[in-house]
Amino acid sequence: MRSKAPLALMEQAVMVLVFALAAVLCLRVFVWSDRTSEIGAATDMAVLKAQSAAEIIKNEGKSGQSEEDVLKAVSTRLGGTYSDADAKLTVGYDADWQPAEGEDVRYVLAASKDGEGSGALGSVHIEVTENTQGETLFEITAAWQKEA
């Protein structure tokens, strides 16, 4: 009579393999859901920062200044820098959405004059991107009527 030990050992090996495959699949799902959650949280904060910037820009724009002058005036309030060369306001944020510069910048809010503005209407395009991948998280156009 032959021993049934090899058959039991084979069954155990197959079960370990099945559980290992299930563990790998579960781990992949958890990593994917964590990344999806991070992207969702980053998008939420990008919306918040862009909307706050739009409200500040619209409020400052009521003074009747040009879009470039408005962005220059708002740059200190937002904690960013204004570049005269490309008429662009840039604000860097770290991973915790605190204003940052240099190597710590993970997210970038950029605001520039929107080409569709007219004499009585000011318009600025605001875009928030992830610095590491260059992926646009949120963009909005802020427009306001200038006082005469």
Q: What is the pLDDT of residues 34-60, one digit of tens each?
A: 989 988 999 999 999 999 999 999 888
| pLDDT value for 84 | 85
d(CA 54, CA 110): 11
Alpha carbon distance 15, 58 (integer Å): 64
Residue 2: per-residue pLDDT: 74
Per residue in 121-132, pLDDT (tens digit) is 888 999 999 988
